[in-house]
Homo-oligomer: A and B are copies of this chain.
Amino acid sequence: MASLREKIRIASGDGVADLLLKNGRVVDVFSGQIEKKDVAIFAGVIVGFGDYQAKKIVDVKGDFLCPGLIDGHVHVESSMVTIPEFARAILPNGTTSIVIDPHEIANVYGREGLRFMAESARGIPLNVFIMLPSCVPATDMETSGATLNASDLRPFFREPWAIGLAEMMNFPGVIFRDPEVLKKIEMAKGRPIDGHAPMLSGKGLYAYLTAGIRSDHECTTLKEAKEKLKNGMRIQVREGTTARNLRDLLPLVTTKNSRRIFFVTDDRHPRELLKEGHIDSMIRQAIRWGLDPILAIQMATLNAAEYFRLDGLGAIAPGFRADLVTFDHLGRFRVGKVFKDGILVAENGKMLVTSTPKRKGLRVGLRVRGSVRVRPLKKDAFLLRSNQPLAKVIQLIPNQIVTKRVTKKIILNEGVAYPNIKKDILKIVVVERHKATGNIGIGFVNGVGLKKGAIGSSVAHDSHNLVIVGTNDRDILKAVNAIQAMSGGLVVVLDGKVLSSLPLPIAGLMSESTVPQVYLQLEALHHAVRKLGCKIPDPFMAVSFLSLPVIPELKITDKGLVDVNQFKFVPLFGEE
C-alpha cells in the first residue's frame, strides 16, 4: 500500500496517478452541485481533479459520477448468502459499503459468529462495518445458540471493524433500566448506537434517547419519523423485502433536515436483490416519487458516512476512498461502472472481479458449520394429548410479522389433538437445535394453508431453532431430520419424502451458493410448497417469524407458546 507521503506527492501533481476518470459529471454531495471534471485516483484514493498524468485513462463520456452507495443497516444473513456472495450481488448496484448487524449468526454462534463475519469480509472489494449485536438472545423465553453479554462484547469494541452498538431492540430494557442493557450502552459511549423502537413515542422515546441512542429504522409513518427526527434521531429509511417504508417516509425529507436521513435495507432476500437491486433501487424510487436526485444521493452516501463517522467515505473529494459509481441520467439513476478503491469491479450489472479472493474466515478455522444438534426424537415426539377441544391458535396476518391470538376448536380423538386441515389449523413445532436439549414447543397455526406434507426451516428468528409447520407428525419428523441432515436449511416434505430443499450449512442460516443460485432454489421450494396447497407469497419467511416472541400477539418458541402482549408462556389448550 502506498504511503500517505506518496499519495500527497501524486496529489500535488508530482508523479503519475493510477487512473484518471475523464469527462465525468461529478456529483458534489457537499455543496449539492454537479461539475464536469476529471478525477485522479492513486493507491485507491481520490487525489485530485483536473489535469493529471495517469497510467490508465477511463473516459466515462459524460456519465454522472457519484460516491459509492452505503447501506446503513443490513442483516446479511437474511439474504441467505455469505458476505462475499452478498458483495457480488450488490456491488454491480453501486453499493460499496455496508453497515451490518450480524445478530442472526450471533444467536447461533455468538462471538465465533461475529469473528466469522468479520473474517469473511476481509479482502473483498466491499467495505463492511460491523455494529455489535446488542440483543442476543432477543428474550429468555427461548433457547439460543449463544448469549452475548456486555462482558462478551467488551473485547470486540477494540476491533477496527466494530464501529458501534447495533439496534437496541430491547427498548423496554432501556426504559426500565435493565443493568445488562445499560452496561452495553455505557460501553458503546462515544460511538454510534443504533435504535430499533417501533412506535415508541413521548416519554418512552425520551427515556430511550436519554440513553444516547441516536438512530431508528423502524419508523412506518410520517408522524413517527417526524417525532423521532426532531428529538435527535437519524432516520434510517428502510426498504427491505417486506418492510417498505420509503414511500411513507419520503414526505419527511426537506433540504433543511435531509442530512439526518439515510437509506437502509435491513433485510433483502435474493429475489429482491436480483429483481429490484439494492440502495440504488431506493434512489430510483425516491427520485420517481419526487425527491431531488442530489438529496437522494446524499442520503445514500454522505449522510450515512457522517452518522457512522466513516472517515473518507461518502463523497468524491481528495483524500476520500475511490469508491465511485457512474450512472447515465439524473432522473433514472441506472448504475453503469462501479469502482472500489479505484478498481473497476462491476459494469452494467456484471461483476468484473471475483469477490472472494480469500476465504479467510474458513481458513482460520472458525467453526460455523454443524450447528444443528437435535436430541434424537421419538416417533411420538409431537403427539399432543388433551382432554378439551379448545386451543390457542397463532393466526397469520398476510404480509405482516405480527400475528393474532385466536381460540379455535381442534380435532380430538381418544385424547389426542390433531390438526384440522380443512379449517387450516396446522401443527407448528419448534425444536431446539443448538444444544440438543430436547426442548420442543408444539402449537397450532392458522393461515399457512398446507393441505398435505410439511415445511421446515432452521431460519427462525431470533434464536434460529427449527420451526416446522405440517399437516401430520410423520412429515414434521421427516422435515426435522432432513434439516439436520443438511446441517440446516429449508425443506418441503410430503409423505415422508423431501420434495425440495435449500441447504444452509453455515450456522443454519447461510448457503455457500451465489445469490442467483439461492434464488432459484427458493423458487423451486416455493413451487413445491404451492403443490402442497399453500398460497401465501413467502411461506418460509412467514414461518420464520412465528418463533420471535417480541412481536405480538401469539408466538411459539422451543420452550412453549408465548402470549407476547402479556410476555409470558401460556398453555396451548383452554381459553385462558
Contact = CB atoms under 8 A, between A and B. Distances in A.
A30 B229 contact: yes
Given A312-B212, A317-B232, A4 B182 contact: yes
A526 to B, nearest CB: 43
A201 to B, nearest CB: 11
Contacts of A204: 12
B319 A11 contact: no
A254 B210 contact: no
Given A4-B182, A211-B4, A232-B317, A206 B47 contact: yes
A30 B257 contact: yes
Nearest to A174: B8
A389 interface: no
A176 B14 CA distance: 10
Nearest to A210: B11
Given A205-B318, A259-B259, 4 more contacts: A31-B256, A48-B203, A212-B311, A232-B320
A226 B31 contact: yes
Interface in A1-35: 4-5, 7-9, 11-13, 28, 30-33, 35
A49 interface: yes
A549 B271 CA distance: 66
A318 B209 contact: yes
A526 B28 CA distance: 49
A306 interface: yes
Contacts of A45: 210
9 contacts: A4-B186, A9-B177, A30-B257, A30-B260, A31-B256, A31-B257, A49-B206, A231-B318, A259-B259
A468 B205 CA distance: 63
Contacts of A319: 209-214, 232
Contacts of A207: 8-9, 11-13, 47-48, 318
A574 to B, nearest CB: 36
Interface in A393-408: none
A486 B50 CA distance: 56
Nearest to A185: B4
A309 interface: yes
Contacts of A254: 31-32
Given A33-B230, A206-B49, A232-B317, A211 B8 contact: yes
